[in-house]
Amino acid sequence: MWTTIGGGIAWNAAFAAISVGVGALVRSLLGAIATALTWVALVDGIIGQLIGDLARWLRFNAGEALGTAAEPMMTSHLLARWGGGTVLLVYTFACTAAAVGTSMRRDVF
């Protein structure tokens, strides 16, 4: 139970960091929200179903692997918990690094 709670907290923290990165990349508030929702609906939802087994490497499925109880029947389509955490960490670092890189060029001192 505690690993599931900890994984859920880590999942939400990673998604918060990714959202901050998207917000820093896209200057418009409406554009950032639309980008995040489009990613969840199109890429994680529709394209995730089309690519089949490769969907486990997408952001939402990696987070689900991190925060879901380890029952073999329910998690057979997901990565292992450590794998989901690693994939989500890579997404988080990529998004925040891109945001820091573009924000540093945009700032006026």
**pLDDT tens for residues 34-87?**
988 888 888 777 877 777 777 777 777 777 777 676 655 555 667 777 878 888
pLDDT at 90 (0 to 100): 92
In a domain, 13, yes or no: yes
In a domain, 21, yes or no: yes
Total tally of structural domains belonging to the chain: 1
Domain residues for 69?
A: 2-102
In a domain, 108, yes or no: no
pLDDT at 25 (0 to 100): 87
pLDDT at 74 (0 to 100): 56
In a domain, 83, yes or no: yes
Q: 94 φ, ψ to 5°? A: -65, -45
What's the pLDDT band for 93 if we cut at 50, 70, 90? very high
Q: What is the DSSP string of the chain?
A: -HHHHHHHHHHHHHHHHHHHHHHHHSSSHHHHHHHHHHIIIIIIIIIHHHSGGGGGGSHHHHHHHHHS---TTTSTTS--HHHHHHHHHHHHHHHHHHHHHHHHHH---
In a domain, 109, yes or no: no
